[in-house]
Amino acid sequence: MSLALRSELVVDKTKRKKRRELSEEQKQEIKDAFELFDTDKDEAIDYHELKVAMRALGFDVKKADVLKILKDYDREATGKITFEDFNEVVTDWILERDPHEEILKAFKLFDDDDSGKISLRNLRRVARELGENMSDEELRAMIEEFDKDGDGESNKSRGVHCYYDW
């Protein structure tokens, strides 16, 4: 094996290892979700608490998913899983997310009229839903940042590419 190829493999392994780690913010979100939905504060969550906590973290979990997690991790047959198990499951799921797919999902939250663009109206609606009191001038400035064709809207393809430009 050539030295150049070995170097590429080492770099590739390093990139993979970096991708396998959550940010401190993500770790805190997992902890917060567990604590918030551990409603009886027994340091374990049941089926319903697990389902709601995972949905709060952005996962579209089905009944079968939650039941499988409980089957795989509920070693004492209590009907609950601990934070350590929850953390392991959610960490794996987060790291398996496709960043491109996640961006498209986020874009669709803004693009409620399925135009493939984020208009001032779309952005104003989202800001209002989030309780943000922003002027149209501030919202236009946000759109202008990514409006490469000058039509006053941010296109889906540009919105996705801007993620990778950061």
Nearest residue to 160 (alpha-carbon basis) of 105, 112, 122, 120: 105
> Is pLDDT at 141 greater than 70 in this prediction?
yes
Does the fold of domain 99-163 match that of domain 24-96? yes
pLDDT (tens digit per residue) in 17-32? 445 689 999 999 999 9
Q: Are 56 and 37 in contact (CB under 8 A)?
A: yes
**Which helix (H) or strand (E) segment is 118 a member of?**
strand 117-118
Phi-psi domain of 38 (left: phi exceeds 0; alpha: psi -120 through 50; beta: other): beta
Nearest residue to 21 (alpha-carbon basis) of 89, 74, 94: 94
Residue ranges per structural domain of the chain: 24-96, 99-163
Global pTM value: 0.58
Q: Please tell us whether the domain made up of 99-163 is placed in CATH 1.10.238.10.
A: yes
pLDDT (tens digit per residue) in 37-90? 998 899 999 999 999 999 999 888 999 999 999 999 999 999 999 999 999 999
Mean pLDDT of 110-133: 89
Q: Please tell us whether the domain made up of 24-96 is placed in CATH 1.10.238.10.
A: yes
